[in-house]
Amino acid sequence: MEQAQKLDFSVNEVLAVMHFPIGLNLGDTANLKGIYNTGGCCNIGEKAYHLTIAKQYPQLVKQVYDFPKIHYAPIKIGGIKDSVNIEAIIEYYIPFTNEDGENHTLMIGLTEQLPINTLFGLPFMLKAKMAPDFHRKTVTSSLFNQEFELTMERPTMLPVEHIRRDQAASPKVLLNNNKKETGQRAIIIRKHQHSAPNTTTKITPKKT
């Protein structure tokens, strides 16, 4: 019998996880850990986990949009366990401001069907002008003038308390608050304003 050929084929058991701060200022933030997924079509998170954050740390959260309450239909996302339905959106404050001093916010679609806490998707990375350096284990955002830690970890569900546990890993400032253009907005990154999701969210109302 012919001997089986040895194949040099790598299969990674760990994924890149970004540590991203949430909160109104860098002096009082929590670190939200999520898979850094360039193949993700949006930011998405496990519903119970993020709603627990909203309950225990309300100062971190601007708004929770519960689709049934605001009469919006779920958003179907393909490619994750066949497909999942986004049933709500949570909007976090983040400690970065535009030229007018207004906080940006981070929006994450929530589903009950996700086997991890949080996944950061490509639209967020593009709007934040992020560039990963996997050798240095960092992600640099030229929009926020910050670099964020990357760790290589097995995908797992973490307890809510973990967002406060690694505060020591807060983001390091790369540039000295140089003013840059921050006029572009998306549902993932929006300036602090009192309004419901706009039409760019691609949320469709239920038909009545």
What predicted TM-score, i.e. pTM, was given to this entire model? 0.77
Domain ranges of the chain: 15-201
Q: Give residue 1's pLDDT.
A: 58
CATH number of 15-201: 2.40.70.10
Q: Are strands 61-66 and 138-141 parallel, antiparallel or unpaired?
A: unpaired
Q: Give residue 166's pLDDT.
A: 55
Per-residue pLDDT of 161-199, as tens digits, reads 888 765 544 444 333 333 333 333 333 343 333 333 333
How far is the C-alpha of 88 from the C-alpha of 145, rounded, in Å?
A: 30
Q: Give residue 43's pLDDT.
A: 97
Residues of the chain with pLDDT under 50: 168-208
| 3-state secondary structure at position 201 | helix
Q: Which residue has the tokens 């519960």?
A: 66
Percentages helix, strand, coil for the chain, rounded to the nearest 5?
15, 40, 45
Q: Give residue 208's pLDDT.
A: 39
Rounded to whole angstroms, what are the CA distances from 200 to 17, 132, 203? 27, 26, 8
Q: Give residue 161's pLDDT.
A: 85
Please choose, from the candidates 37, 182, 170, 34, the residue with its C-alpha nearest in 3D space to the C-alpha of residue 101. 182
